[in-house]
Amino acid sequence: MRLFFTLTLLLVHQFGISCTGGANNQGALTPNAAYQTVATMDGYYYSMNVVCGNQYNFDFCANGGSVAGLWPEISILNNTGTIQYAFSGYVGGCSTLNWTATFTGTIRILITDSGCGQGQFYNGTMAYNVVSGGAVSAAFSMSVSCGGGIATVSGTPGGTFAFNPAPGDGAQINTTTGTVSNGSAGTTYFVQYTICGTSSIESVTVVDEDCFTLNGSAQYINVAGEDCIQLTDEINNQTGCAWSGSQIDFNSNFSLSLDYYFGNNINGADGNTFTFQPSSSTACGQNGGQLGAGGIPNALSIEFDTYDNDNPAHVYDMSCDHIAVEIDGNLNSGTPYCGPVCAKAGGGNIDDGGVYEVEIAWNAATQQLQVYFNGSLRLSCNGDFVNTVFGGQNMLYWGATSATGGLNNQQYFCPSTVIILPTELASFSSHCENDNEVFNWTTSSESRVEFFQLEYTYDGLIFYSAGVEQAIGNSTEPVDYSLTITNYDDKQRYYRLKIVDENGDLKYTDLISGVSCGSESLISKIKQSEHNLEINCVEKINLTIVNQIGKIIFQSSHSNNQFKLDTQVIASGIYYIHASTDDGQIEIKKIIVAD
């Protein structure tokens, strides 16, 4: 008989089966601060009047409680026994339940034997008491999270959350935890917490447009003030995967820029990948030489391998830390689709404590994938990947994977561009001419420059081409360039110049914010140079710059229509420019400040 109940109990804990009902009413309990006891059996229930905010404790383990022949489970139900508010199963030889009332009214306390048994076969003794919750408080705070916010209750727990007012833009809120998700970047949401008829409201402003789903050992870390994602720690047999919250279109041209850290142990392992796949934002592959990507179906992986797995045959690996493109789901055997090639042109290690810039560029027309490592083109790879790898899917999840095996390294990437202003570029800015945005830049010198490509991004990760301008090539004198585009995009764009030399090597400018031409904009120009931010406005306005958590770092009122800020005195990251007039006109622009 008990064998049957033991198996049932395991099912209760595994699947969270709730116990409701109750056919044997044993009357009302009136709790005090001191523990009282009551004899009970499986299938008995008691009623109790509770006060919101008070904690009610039920104990078969101590304070006079005992199990006798009963394997007790305790359920707190509504007065009709149909809704369960709390449950404690039979664990460690007894059962204890501490419950804080979130309303004032009558509850039912149902006692069952393991597996919700209500046959009145087994008995025990339950102790119970009440602890006054004191004054009820609805105090809580909101902190920014990726794409939303997180609530922390400092007052009375157990209440409910709701938007007030409701935003109507697709944002969601968990009524139990207060977590805000699916929010729109730059939007402020007002969250109300209610407990025992008492409410308070706090706000949170969503700041991240593109969030990553972390799986396995992946976690957010802070590196010199920058938010990065650690894929593996210096621990053996780890697998970490991070997928962007937005998919990428292989039917369009794009480039991706990320900074990778491969560890600081040249005898460690195993490396990172940058992977595209159509399956899932929760995918994570095998560890060791599979680099966290092996086994993910229909995946294309660009591997940055820091361990030579097939020495001395060198069929699929090399003695140098190397780059290859894999499409067969197996990174640890067989010849890669493209490569391998040494990551550094001169060979050697990349798990040497350095941070390396990786760019991946895709040309949909020529079906060519190019991999740049620290500004140098290292691998070109052609293929109809949409049809031969992705199963006809062109919208793909993209992200980074990593793994360790019998050896390890800390491995992380930073989902932001670390862009260095080339010393030969004197300026880069834009302004409006009618409905067109005109980009101007000046080189103080040029050496073997092939062309300039103007690129734009929404998130600092994925870049799209906006135009190409051929370079003079070689010059010791200043050269002025100009490129005009028409932009009807409602979303805020950020632009950079990609400078490509005759060898295909790259350099980049800083990001500058695009301006809204052809609209009634308060901000007419935003110019970011190496260490300065310049903001021009169409009239004298109130201007405030805040960081991601809403802290004001710059403020000026009606003093000028031109503002300058030294960006060396602020941390790299995302900032919001708030421009307003006395008659209520408001404009908000987001900027990205890089080191």
Residues 179 and 303 in one domain: no
pLDDT value of position 558: 62
Domain shared by 410 and 428, yes or no: no
Q: Give CA angle at 317 (339, 277), nearest 5°.
A: 60
Same domain for 504 and 567, yes or no, is: no
- Residue 280 phi, psi dihedral angles, 5° rounding: -165, 150
Where is 9: in which H helix or E strand?
helix 2-15
**Do 380 and 433 belong to one domain?**
no
Sheet holding 96-100, edge to edge: 36-41, 123-131, 55-59, 96-100
Residues 249, 153: one domain? Answer: no
Note whether 231 and 280 are within 8 A (CB): no
Nearest alpha carbon to residue 16 among 92, 73, 94, 54:
73
Domain that includes residue 472, residue range = 419-517
The Cα–Cα gap between 336 and 326 comes to 5
Parallel, antiparallel, or unpaired: how do β-strands 24-28 and 44-50 relate? parallel
> How many domains does the structure of the chain reveal?
5
What tokens appear for 246 in the block? 């937005």
Q: Is residue 50 part of a domain?
A: yes
Per-residue pLDDT of the chain (595 residues; tens, 9 = 90+): 233 322 222 333 333 457 999 989 999 999 999 999 999 999 999 999 999 989 999 999 999 999 988 999 999 999 999 999 999 999 888 999 999 998 999 999 999 998 899 998 999 999 999 999 888 899 998 877 666 788 889 888 889 999 998 887 778 898 989 988 777 777 888 999 999 989 999 988 876 545 788 899 998 887 876 678 899 999 999 999 999 877 788 988 888 888 899 999 999 999 999 999 998 888 999 999 999 999 999 999 999 999 998 888 887 888 999 999 999 999 988 889 999 999 998 899 999 999 998 989 888 889 999 999 988 899 999 999 999 999 999 988 899 999 999 999 999 998 754 333 333 567 788 888 877 889 988 888 787 888 999 998 877 777 888 889 998 888 878 889 999 988 766 677 888 888 888 877 778 877 787 877 765 567 777 777 667 788 888 777 788 887 766 677 888 876 667 788 888 788 777 787 878 777 666 677 777 776 6
Do 532 and 493 share a structural domain? Answer: no
Q: Which of 131, 152, 170 is the last residue of a domain?
A: 131
Residue 508: which of 489, 528, 523, 490 has the closest Cα?
Answer: 528
Choose among 199, 186, 180, 187: nearest CA to 142.
Answer: 180
Does this model's pTM top 0.75? My answer is no
Among residues 344, 337, 300, 338, which one has the least CA distance to residue 322? 344
Other beta carbons within 10 Å of 152 = 12
Same domain assignment for residues 111 and 14: yes
**Same-domain check for residues 375 and 389:** yes
Whether residues 526 and 593 fall in one domain:
yes
- Give the domain-ending residue among 366, 398, 414: 414
Distance of CA 556 to the CA centre of its chain: 33
Q: What is the CATH number of the domain that holds 555?
A: 2.60.40.3080
For residues 144 and 568, what is the distance between their CA atoms, to the nearest angstrom? 25
CATH number of the domain that residue 12 is part of: 2.60.120.380
Report the distance separating Cα 213 and Cα 206, nearest Å. 17
Residues sharing a CB contact under 8 Å with residue 198, sequence separation 6 or more, in sequence order: 136, 137, 138
Give SS3 for 567. helix
CA distance linking residue 496 with residue 515, whole number of Å:
14
Distance CA 171, CA 281 (A): 20
Q: Look at residues 517, 552, 574 and tell me which one is the last residue of a structural domain.
A: 517
Question: The tokens 């044993």 sit on which residue?
Answer: 26
